[in-house]
Structure 1
Amino acid sequence: FARAVQNPALKAWAGRDDRVREGRRAFLRRCELNSAAQRGDYSQGLEEREGAPAERALQAA
């Protein structure tokens, strides 16, 4: 489970200081998708859609 959440974030971040925001965005997005799956609301269409809640969370940080 942890790798499923971490890998997209680590790939987006790539260890670069200038990519921290992208890593956070990928992490939040994956958390949102996992949450939808736990609620039974997941569909493949969610993978292609941009995540507005993740964007709002990053703007607040």
Structure 2
Amino acid sequence: MDQATGLRLVDTLIDVAGGPSSDGYACQVIAAINDPLPRPYPGVHEIPVDTDNRFFDHAPLSA
């Protein structure tokens, strides 16, 4: 997949997660990507991992 297609996918996932679902609850999307996001997105938390530290017990609590 090329970079432009990948960024469209990320933007689409963020848009989908940004609004409440039909039952009124917030949506959440968890995705793993190889590189940091190209810009900050409101409401998005990035949790960097690397080959030495692939697990994240430091994930922020949801409000």
What TM-score results when the alignment is normalised by the length of structure 1? 0.35
In proportion to residue count, which structure has more helix?
Answer: 1
What TM-score results when the alignment is normalised by the length of structure 2? 0.34
Q: Which has the higher contact order (CA 8 A, sep 6+)?
A: 1
